[in-house]
């Protein structure tokens, strides 16, 4: 990722030399947005979303992610497999076929 950042900054510097003075504010805006993205990416890498068990479904949830994930696939295969609703109370994993129900 550091290599990509270096390449992006080199490209921005090259564009800056060729860009008309009236449009230099665009590069400033682009650099600010890039800094925001990099800050957000570094926060995510240092604080990854940890799963928590949803009592109503028996599935894993990750932070603000609205999906429900199979706990068996995540625990055994380290894969985030989104489950599908089977009926009002049960969900099923399309990968391992586990039937998941609310925790007691």
Q: What are the b/e assignments for 84-95, b being 16+ CB within 10 Å?
A: eeeeeeebbbee
Return the pLDDT at 101: 92
Same domain membership, residue 96 and residue 83:
yes
Same structural domain for residues 61 and 40? no
Task: Report how far residue 73's alpha carbon sits from residue 8's, in angstroms, rounded to the nearest whole number.
Answer: 37
The answer on 60 and 35 residing in a single domain is no
With a cut of 90, say whether residue 69 has pLDDT above it.
yes
Q: Is residue 27 domain-shared with residue 56, that is, in the same domain?
A: no
- 71 and 88 inside one domain: yes
**What average pLDDT does the structure give for the chain?**
86
Please give the residue range of the domain that contains residue 22.
2-46
55 shares a domain with 34:
no
Q: 0.75 cut: is pTM over it? A: no
Q: Kindly state whether residues 41 and 70 are assigned to the same domain.
A: no
Task: Count how many domains the chain has.
Answer: 2
Q: Are residues 33 and 58 in the same domain?
A: no
């Amino acid at each position: 990722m550091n290599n990509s950042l270096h390449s992006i900054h080199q490209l921005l510097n090259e564009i800056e030399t060729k860009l008309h003075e009236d449009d230099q504010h665009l590069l400033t805006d682009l650099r600010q947005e890039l800094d925001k993205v990099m800050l957000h990416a570094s926060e995510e890498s240092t604080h990854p979303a940890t799963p928590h068990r949803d009592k109503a479904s028996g599935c894993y949830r990750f932070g603000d992610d609205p999906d429900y994930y199979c706990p068996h696939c995540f625990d055994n295969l380290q894969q985030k497999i989104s489950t599908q609703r089977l009926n009002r109370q049960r969900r099923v994993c399309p990968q391992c076929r586990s039937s998941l129900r609310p925790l007691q």
